[in-house]
Structure 1
Amino acid sequence: MAKLKQVIKAELDPRRPVPEIMAVIEAMIVSNPGHEGPILLGVYDAVQTALDRMTKKGGVTNGK
C-alpha cells in the first residue's frame, strides 16, 4: 500500500531572518486550510514567550 506524506522543506537565509520566518509561516498556513487560527495563535504565544524572556534578560531591541 502506498504511503503518502506531505513535507515542506525550507532552506533559510539566516541573514534575512524576518522574511524567511514569514515565508515559513505563510507556507504552513497555506498548507493547512481551516487551521490558520491555531497556527497563528501558536506562533503568537511562542513569540510572546520569547519576548518576555528577552525582556527579563535586559530588554528587547527592534533589530535596527
Structure 2
Amino acid sequence: MATIKPTLQIELDPRNPVPEICTVISAVVSYHPAVAEEAIIKGLMESLENRWSVLKKGADKDAKPVHGPSRAGADQ
C-alpha cells in the first residue's frame, strides 16, 4: 500500500522574519481542517505569550538606564 506523507520543506529569510513565519503558518494550517486551525493558532499564541513573558522578565531584570552617548573626549 502506498504511504503518503505531506511534507513541507521550508527556506526562510532570517532578515525578514515576520512575513516569513506568517507564510509558514499559513502553509502548515492549510493541511488541517478549519477546526484544527483554531487549535493550532491558540497553541501558537500560548507559545508566543510564554516567550514574550520570558523576554520581558529578562529585560526588566537586566534593564539599565540609558543616558545617551558618552561625552568623554568630546571637547578635545
Q: How many corresponding residue pairs?
A: 59
Q: What residue number does 2:7 align with?
A: 7
Distance 1:31 1:54 in 2: 31
CA RMSD of aligned residues (A): 1.1
Which ranges of 4 or more aligned residues in structure 1 deviate by more than 2 Å?
A: none
Q: What residue number does 1:40 align with?
A: 41
- 1:30 Cα deviation from its structure 2 partner: 1.3
Gaps of 5+ in 1: 60-64
1:20-49 alpha-carbon deviations (Å, 9 max, x no partner):
100011111111123110000010001000
> What is the letter of the counterpart of residue 46 of structure 2?
D
Structure index of larger Rg = 2
Query: TM-score, with normalisation over the residues of structure 2?
Result: 0.72
Identity within the alignment, %: 36
Gaps of 5+ in 2: 61-76
